[in-house]
Amino acid sequence: MAATARARALADQGRDIISLTLGEPEFPTPPHALEAAHSAALRGDTKYPAVAGTPALKAAICRKFWRDSKLVFAPEQVLVGNGARQIIFDALIATLDEGDEVVVPTPYWNAYPLIARMAGARPIFVDCAESDGFLPHPEAIAQAVSPRTKWLVLNFPNNPTGAVCPARHLQAIADVMRRAPQCWIMSDDMYEHLIHDGTPNVTLAAIAPDLAERVLTISGVSKTYAMTGWRVGFAGGPPGLIQAMAKVQGQSTGGVSPIAQAAALAALDGSQNDVQHMRAAYAARTRLAASLLGQIEGVTCHMPQGAFYIYPGIAGLLGRVSAGGRPLETDQAFSDALLEEAGVALVHGAAFGKSPHVRVSTAASDASIEAACVRIARFCDQLR
């Protein structure tokens, strides 16, 4: 968000800036979702909603979990929140006590450690090496888990790396979690429909049903349906956990706007053609950008399999000096110099807990991605 704001401020001053910072689809919300919201407003769906979600949307979410993952949830096992971010907040605030631990593979989407800390808990990081395809090693997870561990966080396809976890690898993680009965598992599947080759997502609760009573499976409409501004996320999980999360939500924001919930319902139940079209576009853009960036000397570029991000390594560029005289000692210094001198905004890897990298969002138009890659290549070429 800070990187985006900085890019906008420079653009407002008249600078020619290409921003690849935000994980926000540039596609419009599908028309049938817009129409459903309009009808809901006109028919008077404008009152306080039930905290946990409208019965109609919860039923649609149960259908969605079955359709996509063969997960069976009753409506009381489903919570609708103001975005998946609130679902994560509800879950961590509802369960964590001072001194508890949350195991978070790095790089991570930073809401997990930040919310864990808000709840008084300590994030315990597990490094995911680029050479391992950014997957957490099951043995490393086992070593990070202690009697104080309350949660393991899993996020595939991953933000910021685009890594997708193969079923065999996920099974090995499930084996580790069988030996940690005190621990909940958060499966953040926000990008489940954005796997580049179109293969279905594999999620923990489906492949390890014996663990399902400890798994919270999270998804939402923001990324899949280009509905970031509607603020609808959801989760399926054990009823006791869902009830506790609803209590937190009831005292923080209450339920989600019924108009947004009507739109989300239409997105989940309606034609999925737009999703296919958007997935294909993200896949093509990601491949293009990864191949262009991978050709730059000093840059390593693991090919993502999902989401709309690339997480190039820039170790080979640190220690050098930009054409404008800026020393590049860290990934933050690299991104700052790139923005100032080449007009390209990226997010530095330290924001995701793993340096030296930068995150490139490919949720932007073909033209801006291509132009940005050309500028990045020129910037790197001119380093001293």
Closer to ligand PLP at the Cβ: 176 or 218? 218
Q: Are 259 and 51 a contacting pair, CB within 8 Å?
A: no
Min CB(181)–ligand PLP separation in Å? 26
DSSP 234: E
SS3 28: coil
Binding mask 7-26 for ligand PLP (x = CB under 6 A): ----------------x---
For residues 279 and 337, which CB has a smaller minimum distance to ligand PLP in the complex? 279
- Site residues (CB under 6 A) for ligand PLP, limited to 131-190: 155, 159, 188, 190
Number of residues that bind ligand PLP (CB under 6 A): 13
Residue 301 C-beta: closest distance to ligand PLP, Å = 20
Residue of 154, 135, 84 whose CA lies nearest to 304: 135
Told to check if 233 binds ligand PLP by CB under 6 A, we report yes
Q: Rounded distance, CA 188 to CA 204, Å? A: 10
Q: Which of residues 74-113 bind ligand PLP (CB under 6 A)?
A: 83-85, 109
Six token digits for residue 218? 């999270």
Shortest separation between residue 115's beta carbon and ligand PLP, angstroms: 11
Burial class (CB in 10 A: 0-12, 13-18, 19+), 374: middle
Quote the Cα angle for 74-80-83, to 5°: 145
Nearer to ligand PLP, 95 or 228 (CB): 228
Specify the residue, 347 or 380, whose C-beta has the smaller distance to ligand PLP. 347
Q: Which residue is nearest to ligand PLP (CB)?
A: 83
Cβ of residue 258: shortest distance to ligand PLP, in angstroms?
17
Number of neighbouring beta carbons within 10 Å of residue 85: 18
Amino acid identity, position 336: D
CA distance 83 to 116: 17
- Judged by CB, which is closer to ligand PLP: 85, or 285? 85
Site string for ligand PLP, 184-203 (x = CB under 6 A): ----x-x-------------
Measured from the CB of residue 352, what is the shortest distance to ligand PLP in angstroms? 10
Shortest CA distance to 86 belongs to which of 257, 328, 292? 257
Tell me the angle at which helices 366-381 and 331-342 cross, rounded to the nearest 10 degrees.
Answer: 110
Of 297, 295, 307, residue with least CA distance to 134: 307
Enumerate binding residues for ligand PLP (CB under 6 A).
23, 83-85, 109, 155, 159, 188, 190, 220, 222, 228, 233
